[in-house]
Amino acid sequence: MTTSTINRLLYAILLIFSSCDEKSDTIQSSSYSNWYASSISVDSIPGIGISKAYTTLKKNSDPVIIAVIDTPVDIYHPVFRNRLYINHDEIPDNGMDDDNNGYTDDINGWNFLGYDTNKSVYFMNYEIVRLIRQLENSSTTDSLRLKKLYKAYQLQKEKAQKRLNKSIADLQTFYDAKEVFPNTIRANGTIDSIAAKKVHAKNEEEIKLKKFLLRNARIGLYEKQLIQFKTGGEGELNKSLNPAYDDRKIVMGHHIVNDFENMSQHATQVGGLIAEATNGEIFDRPNILDIKLMFLCTSGVGDYHNNDLAAAIRYAVDNGASVINLSDSKPNSFDEDLVTSAIQYAAKHEVLIVTSAGNNNLNTDLPEYKNYPLDYRTDFNEIADNMIVVGASTNKIEKPKASFSNYGQQSVDIFAPGSKIVVPNGETNVPYIRLGGTSLASALTSASAAIIISQYPDITAGTLKKVLLKTGTAIDSSTFKSFSKSGKIVNLHKALNYLQEKTNNYKNL
């Protein structure tokens, strides 16, 4: 998804995560010719070399599980066919915790936001609201800090109101254009750019409508997205930024990870990209890999709860995940020790955690732009060696950093493709969409890590991180080199070659 929460709101489906885009195009059918699969040595395109890597892979005997900590997901999307993690120690829908892991009927994962039978909390408070509420109720209130938080909160509310106003205006303009130029809108609510170009505007108002159609056709917005932008904006103001609203009052948690209410496509987009990148059929190597996806739902509009994230990480570790993909982040955090302890727990069990750097084009090395969760304290000394923070790169060697991507020579580890990527979409009438975001860069890094584990199942999380950073594609740009610790872009093919050359010596890295 991603990605800061506000950008999640602006991109994917008004949200998230992490998670997506500076521009998007609606795609009517699947496209497997994504540039991310390319290799710079073969195609002169800085992809992760996955097409080339597939030619060298050996069949893996045991499945590799990737836990996707994200929003609820469309588990019935074709991309997940035979790709879902299944807890075989649990009997489906019998209302009992058969495996005694503390979670009843958890077949494909767990929804920490669940309530009632099959619903999920879509709007959560922002962390800044929780912090203000906590300080206001504290017996030793830090008045100076509270004043700063109030100021930041008011600024956030003003920005949210502006976004909502724009969403309302855009939706009305869309309906005006649909009425005046009905042939420019397809049955699925997408804009026909060819028909829009042929429109003969007769007056100033029609000229404005034509420009609106062409602009939105270019960036790929469609009717349902515009509706969700409005709905999300209203919920952001009335719930996520409302101190009187407390999403914890109704959350119980349940085993239904599917997005029955179709409120978010982010987990479908992120998980779907991982599924495609690890699908041998797409790369002419059918049945070469067995990689399964476990879905753990903690995210929506607003900020995730640290106790949810910590519990999700521990669940993933305890239930066999080798890689955890977290395409979510936030600028504020309290009770961070809960997450820190969970990250260290994952490190102890050699589970790699991959997170997105965020989509604000900020230097997260700076204290005021910290992006949680963190794998370091104030001095950038890592608390564990199993977490990779990923920025988003483009398909252009001369301009490798995506314009929206956060960066930081100390806080970001590496970059990966995250611009103009075709991904599965959780919308029946628009099953594929082109997006961009650090959520997608994180997803491709997680996919790369899982593929490496399939070939080297005893590799440690710390070694895997070192290998990915060491073998990335170096770009001849002093500026890009300063955007992350490695100064590189993930290169799966090079990583596999490096490990093959090292044979068993890689364990001593």
Three-state SS annotation for 478-504: HHHHCCCCCCEECCHHHHHHHHHHHHH
CA-based end-to-end distance of the chain: 32
Check whether residue 292 and residue 205 sit in a common domain.
Answer: no
Classify the C-alpha dihedral 38-450-9-343 as positive or negative.
negative
Residue 263 and residue 236 in one domain: no
User: Is the same domain home to 164 and 208?
Assistant: yes
On whether residue 267 sits in a domain, the answer given is yes
Taking only the tens place, the pLDDT of each residue in 423-467 is 998 777 788 888 899 999 999 999 999 999 999 999 999 999 999
Q: Dihedral angle at the C-alpha atoms of 17, 18, 24, 29, nearest 10 degrees?
A: -70
Residues 421 and 287 in one domain: yes
Same domain, 469 and 356: yes
Written as tens digits, the pLDDT of the chain (509 aa) is: 333 333 333 333 333 333 333 344 444 444 445 899 999 888 889 999 999 999 999 998 899 999 999 999 999 999 999 999 999 999 999 999 999 999 999 999 999 999 998 899 999 999 999 999 988 888 777 788 899 999 999 999 999 999 999 999 999 999 999 999 999 999 989 999 999 999 999 999 999 999 999 999 877 778 988 998 999 999 999 999 999 999 998 888 999 999 887 777 899 999 999 999 999 999 999 999 999 999 999 999 999 999 999 999 999 999 999 999 999 999 989 889 999 999 999 999 999 999 999 999 999 999 999 999 999 877 899 999 999 999 999 999 999 999 999 999 999 999 999 999 999 987 777 888 888 999 999 999 999 999 999 999 999 999 999 999 999 999 988 999 999 999 999 999 999 999 999 866 666 66
Q: Domain range for residue 404? A: 5-125+252-508
Whole-prediction pTM value? 0.91
Q: Verify that 30 and 173 share a domain, yes or no.
A: no
Question: How many domains, in total, are found in the chain?
Answer: 2
Q: Do 313 and 375 reside in the same domain of the chain?
A: yes
Within 10 A of 427 (CB to CB), how many other CB atoms are there? Answer: 22
Do the domain assignments include residue 50? yes
Together in a domain, 74 and 164: no
* 46, 424, 313, 369 alpha-carbon torsion, rounded to 10°: 60
Domain final residue, candidates 176, 206, 240: 240
Q: What is the CA radius of gyration of the chain?
A: 22
196 alpha-carbon distance from chain centroid: 32
Residue after which a domain boundary falls, among 219, 240, 261: 240
User: Residues 346, 469: one domain?
Assistant: yes
Quick check: is 245 in a domain? Answer: no
- Tell me, yes or no, whether 71 lies in a domain: yes
Task: Clarify whether residues 64 and 138 are in a common domain.
Answer: no
Q: Please report the pLDDT score of residue 506 as a whole number.
A: 65
Q: CB–CB of 5/360 below 8 Å?
A: no
283: CATH: 3.40.50.200
Domain stops at, among 194, 212, 240: 240
Instruction: Report CA torsion sign: 409, 415, 420, 423.
Output: negative
Pairing of strands 291-297, 109-111: parallel
Residues 148 and 205 in one domain: yes
Pairing of strands 432-435, 25-27: antiparallel
- Same domain as 277, residue 223: no
Q: How far apart are CA 210 and CA 184, in angstroms?
A: 10
DSSP E strands in 357-420: the ranges are: 387-393, 414-417
pLDDT given for residue 219 in this prediction = 73
**Does residue 246 sit within a domain?**
no
What local confidence, expressed as pLDDT, does residue 4 receive? 39
336-348 and 461-470 helices, crossing angle to 10°? 90
Q: How many CB atoms lie within 10 A of CB 31?
A: 13
Q: Is the dihedral of CA 173, 176, 180, 184 positive or negative?
A: positive
CB 434 within 8 A of CB 24: yes
CA nearest 415: which of 325, 481, 494, 362? 481
